[in-house]
A and B are shown apart, each in its own frame.
Chain A
């Protein structure tokens, strides 16, 4: 198994031709356009569905609040930042944006808040108004007990606590879920294309024509790199679509809290280094899966064999996906480290665990070395058996038989 420079002759031409044809394909172009459109409309749709868009056309401040206090407690309604003016039960209720009524029954205070329907005030402000009423009543109670304003301010100083219990795990889980779906999506698409493409070349009887000009290793590597580049272009289109979508949501709805909430799981987790780690891990993972797919594909002689050839790649991809999702729910430092080093799993797990601070860069680096070693092993196996398998015709050669061929076991 040798990898001399000659083995990569023609690689660049295979790569550019494959990429050119991928981009020329009508179905691929249609897919790119559809993905872009979906990404573009996603934020406005999420904003609308999550209620963030209800403020559309409505005011986000209350001009006047009509306040009726039927309790014995002298309540001073605090509406800073929400309402411009509070009218204390002297005006006519219908002419105000909101109504606040306090009553007292059996020693308990009851509040009632309501927005006037015809004033065009955003409906979500009722929540904030209710919170302010509750706080105003509490403050009035404290004052009646002799608390000074300064004491009250001290009591209400904001406290910032980082929660690492149940909610923290849930956030990691969502980050893991999104990243695992991304890895699986890209890997499945690349692996399927590679297998189809390799078998198509064999079935179309192009193999000999190509082999007289290109080393078989360049043939498979050129395809893989072209597919990875195509996937990156697809990813870039999606990202641009999402960014434009965010801008679009902002233009249509002003602030887009719905969309912001949807992305909150990722906020802060993926800094530039985390993104770099994710991209490198993803590339190494896709390369490994694609090489396995190429080796499985080259053992096929008919298009009907392709479904069988996809089995191993899909098994590895699905297995990695399921385990990574499970790991998203279970937070264990030791397990995170071990799983981040296991080939075929590390592509899913290591980048997320690094982003969430569960593993350090050292572990990521080791996982890359292991991934690169596995990819190199696959490449060496390709170098040894790919040429013979390209010419081979007959029933599908299983991956175990391919390994036997590569390592020169008897009976292979």
Chain B
């Protein structure tokens, strides 16, 4: 299986919102579409899924144009919601049925994902909820089990709504999963729950396209990226190759006394400094080693010396900033 996006193009009147976007996924994995707000990520995804008419270009899935009727797609939109007043279970069965999953199978999958996403108590009448017993102060350690009615969407917190929405994207066991900002607004615990599931989907050879502003997440999951800025592709390629191209230019140095004099002599640039812990920008390994030599010669006690490639966050800021400066 493979996914090829070629020369996608979209204009609204005179304004170009996506300009000649192309990328390819030849094997399962995660492809990241990154970009500033309004860069054209969501529009590109909508065109890929056929929700928006393309002004040019094509999207090929397994050698034929991507058709959501034949390709099993799971989509978590950036703009997502639920029917506020309909029972959650009814909605999930409905969304699954729209993707061709029968009622019985849908119910079984919903139970599985409800458990994985820890939202059973909002879906099932019989889900026991531990609640503090009356007079818990006097009888600490005791809790009574109570059952509650399945809730409506508008009775759930934003995070729990988001987990239900995430579930809708996976109910059809899709082969191509598109996640537009899957982690926005989630607390660290729920972020980890979702991350764990994403890791499992990657391990089961799914094709994932992810759009996110959370660079750490993208860095963890993605092998290839495209960075968009104001409708144009400003950087594209394999993440490791891109990083390697930048070289090891970030030096983290923790010492036990002030070394400003040696840093100045080496030509490294101080990015930040806090209690003898320095974040430095160097031109490469040679400059870093020269600084290290000076410190050793001066018998400066070194606690941490870490030379690494730039993070995706740094690459993103630098690349988009560069484009803005050029303009």
Binding site for B on A (CB under 8 A): 6, 9-10, 13-14, 17, 20-21, 24, 200-201, 204-214, 387-388, 391
Does B301 belong to the interface (CB within 8 Å)? no
Q: How far is the CA of A5 from the CA of B270 in the complex (A)?
A: 64
Q: How far is the CA of A243 from the CA of B109 in the complex (A)?
A: 47
Q: Are B51 and A13 in contact, with the CB atoms below 8 A?
A: no
Chain B residue nearest in CB terms to A393: B79
Does B52 belong to the interface (CB within 8 Å)? yes
Residues from chain A with Cβ under 8 Å of B51 in the complex = 208, 211-212, 387, 391
Chain B residue nearest in CB terms to A214: B98
Could you give 22 example pairs across A and B, Cβ below 8 Å? A6-B69, A9-B69, A13-B98, A14-B98, A20-B90, A200-B83, A204-B82, A205-B77, A206-B83, A208-B75, A208-B80, A209-B77, A209-B80, A209-B81, A212-B68, A212-B73, A213-B98, A213-B99, A214-B98, A388-B53, A391-B51, A391-B52
Q: How far is the CA of A211 from the CA of B42 in the complex (A)?
A: 14
Chain A residue nearest in CB terms to B165: A209
Q: List B residues 85-120 near A (Cβ within 8 Å).
A: 86-87, 90, 94-95, 97-99
Does B49 belong to the interface (CB within 8 Å)? yes
Q: Are A206 and B81 in contact, with the CB atoms below 8 A?
A: yes
Residues from chain B with Cβ under 8 Å of A213 in the complex = 68, 95, 98-99
Binding site for A on B (CB under 8 A): 46, 49, 51-53, 68-69, 73, 75, 77, 79-84, 86-87, 90, 94-95, 97-99, 165, 168
Q: How far is the CA of A108 from the CA of B69 in the complex (A)?
A: 94
- How many pairs of residues, A versus B, come closer than 8 Å at their CB atoms? 66
Q: Main secondary structure on chain B at its contact with chain A?
A: loop
Q: Are A206 and B82 in contact, with the CB atoms below 8 A?
A: yes
Q: Which 8 A-B pairs have the closest CB atoms?
A: A205-B81, A213-B98, A208-B77, A204-B81, A212-B75, A205-B79, A17-B94, A211-B51
Chain A residue nearest in CB terms to B180: A208
Residues from chain A with Cβ under 8 Å of B69 in the complex = 6, 9
Chain A residue nearest in CB terms to B45: A208
Q: Are A388 and B52 in contact, with the CB atoms below 8 A?
A: yes
Most buried by B among A9, A13, A208: A208
Residues from chain A with Cβ under 8 Å of B90 in the complex = 17, 20-21, 24
Q: How far is the CA of A388 from the CA of B53 in the complex (A)?
A: 8
CB of A7 to closest CB in B, whole Å: 11
Q: How far is the CA of A13 from the CA of B84 in the complex (A)?
A: 19
Chain B residue nearest in CB terms to A216: B51
Chain B residue nearest in CB terms to A207: B79
Q: How far is the CA of A211 from the CA of B81 in the complex (A)?
A: 13
Q: Are B168 and A209 in contact, with the CB atoms below 8 A?
A: yes
Residues from chain A with Cβ under 8 Å of B83 in the complex = 21, 200-201, 204, 206
Q: How far is the CA of A394 from the CA of B165 in the complex (A)?
A: 25
**Taking A6-B69, A21-B90, A391-B51 as contacts, is the C-beta distance between A208 and B79 under 8 angstroms?**
yes
**Taking A17-B94, A391-B51, A391-B52 as contacts, is the C-beta distance between A204 and B75 under 8 angstroms?**
no
**Taking A17-B94, A213-B99 as contacts, is the C-beta distance between A208 and B86 under 8 angstroms?**
no
CB of A10 to closest CB in B, whole Å: 5
Residues from chain B with Cβ under 8 Å of A204 in the complex = 81-84
Residues from chain B with Cβ under 8 Å of A208 in the complex = 46, 51, 75, 77, 79-80
CB of B165 to closest CB in A, whole Å: 7
Q: How far is the CA of A253 from the CA of B69 in the complex (A)?
A: 62
Residues from chain A with Cβ under 8 Å of B80 in the complex = 205-206, 208-209
Q: How far is the CA of A388 from the CA of B55 in the complex (A)?
A: 14
Q: How far is the CA of A35 from the CA of B75 in the complex (A)?
A: 43
Q: Are B94 and A13 in contact, with the CB atoms below 8 A?
A: yes
Residues from chain A with Cβ under 8 Å of B168 in the complex = 209
Chain A residue nearest in CB terms to B96: A213
Residues from chain B with Cβ under 8 Å of A206 in the complex = 80-83
Residues from chain B with Cβ under 8 Å of A17 in the complex = 90, 94, 97
Q: How far is the CA of A391 from the CA of B95 in the complex (A)?
A: 19
Residues from chain A with Cβ under 8 Å of B165 in the complex = 209
Q: How far is the CA of A5 from the CA of B83 in the complex (A)?
A: 28
Q: How far is the CA of A4 from the CA of B114 in the complex (A)?
A: 37
Q: Are A391 and B94 in contact, with the CB atoms below 8 A?
A: no
Q: How far is the CA of A391 from the CA of B43 in the complex (A)?
A: 10
Chain B residue nearest in CB terms to A204: B81
Residues from chain A with Cβ under 8 Å of B75 in the complex = 208-209, 212
Q: Are B49 and A212 in contact, with the CB atoms below 8 A?
A: yes
Residues from chain A with Cβ under 8 Å of B68 in the complex = 212-213
Chain A residue nearest in CB terms to B100: A213
Q: Are B95 and A209 in contact, with the CB atoms below 8 A?
A: yes
Residues from chain B with Cβ under 8 Å of A210 in the complex = 98
Q: How far is the CA of A24 from the CA of B86 in the complex (A)?
A: 9
Q: How far is the CA of A263 from the CA of B90 in the complex (A)?
A: 43
Q: How far is the CA of A101 from the CA of B165 in the complex (A)?
A: 89
Residues from chain B with Cβ under 8 Å of A205 in the complex = 77, 79-81
CB of B137 to closest CB in A, whole Å: 39
Residues from chain B with Cβ under 8 Å of A388 in the complex = 52-53
Most buried by B among A13, A200, A204, A213: A213
CB of A148 to closest CB in B, whole Å: 82
Q: How far is the CA of A200 from the CA of B53 in the complex (A)?
A: 24
CB of A309 to closest CB in B, whole Å: 20
CB of A298 to closest CB in B, whole Å: 14
Residues from chain B with Cβ under 8 Å of A21 in the complex = 83, 86, 90
